[in-house]
Amino acid sequence: MPELPELEVAQEVLNRRLLGQTITAADAIPPGAAIVLRDLTGLGFSPALTGATFQAIVRRGKFLVFTLAQGGALLWLVINPKLTGRLQLCAPKDKKAGPIHAVLHLSDGQDLRYVDQKKMGQVFLTRQPPESAPIADFASLGPDALAVSREDFKARLKKYQGEIKGVLTRGECVAGIGNAYPDEVLWWAKLHPYRKRASLTPEEIDRLYDKMQACLLDAIDKVRTEMGEDIHLKPRDFLAIHMKAGAPCPRCGTAISLVGANQRITNFCRTCQPGGLIKGM
């Protein structure tokens, strides 16, 4: 799942390369398009977007929001890539980064593709501002994990009683964090992922806030270097512990533990992050 660091760098690249460009044609590619694309305008994906010009691109949590001007009005293209969705900005003849469900042909001759192996992502087209449009999970998003203040972060945490990793993944608490980066944040903060939120001391919550900010900013710098202009990539080799089960902890050398399976894997260090007797690798 693309998370805050990958999407932050992607929006930087897209702003640099798309602003002011016009969509000369827009294609929905069946059969995946019928599942992925959600036209809320009633105009049709291709007719609504053809001739539109990119005005702004922002990241909101794990969404990318494109503002477009079309005939004196505004349109919004809102992308929630979920598990395997990606954007690929490339020449028309470049190799596909995955199954293509939509293509925007651009005035500079490049294509912007939406690819999604599992067809779980969603691409919404709306004439309403995203906050007021019927876009699943958008209006309920909390403040961005990089923008939330320390006091607001503390106040938001108090609403939840569950395990701290699960709390960090809740978009209504803080936006932008999925399954991978909580492992990294909690390792940086030396907190066990299965500690109950209510068990954290004020000092631990302060440390969690500081390390969340530092970890995500550090990841953005590394992703920016490794991704370059290839926004369909998801560079994560630099992560300290996520998906590194059995490898030595970079801090103490203990073998990294694993709990879970498939896309809900949790990794942590039993020595650096004490606090639970969890069966795992």
Q: Is residue 194 part of a domain?
A: yes
- Give the total number of structural domains in the chain: 2
**Residues 157, 51 share a domain:** no
Domain that holds residue 178: 150-268
3 state SS of 80: strand
pLDDT at 280: 40
Q: Is 60 a catalytic residue?
A: no
Report, as ranges of residue numbers, the positions in the chain whose pLDDT lies below 70.
261-263, 276-281
Q: Is 38 a catalytic residue?
A: no
3 state SS of 45: helix
Closest to 164 (Cα-Cα) out of 190, 143, 139: 190
Tell me which of 17, 62, 86, 113 is the catalytic residue: 62
Tell me which of 2, 5, 182, 193 is the catalytic residue: 2
**Residues 119, 159 share a domain:** no
DSSP-H helix ranges across the chain: 4-18, 33-36, 45-49, 150-157, 164-168, 180-189, 202-227
Last residue of a domain, one of 132, 159, 190: 132
Q: Is 62 a catalytic residue?
A: yes
Q: Is residue 174 part of a domain?
A: yes
pLDDT at 262: 58
Q: Is 264 a catalytic residue?
A: yes
Tell me which of 3, 6, 8, 163 is the catalytic residue: 3
CATH of the domain at 71: 3.20.190.10
Tell me which of 93, 95, 264, 279 is the catalytic residue: 264
Q: Rounded to an integer, what distance in angstroms lies between the CA atom of residue 53 and that of residue 62?
A: 23
pLDDT at 263: 64
**Residues 86, 201 share a domain:** no
CATH of the domain at 222: 1.10.8.50
Strands 122-126 and 63-70: unpaired
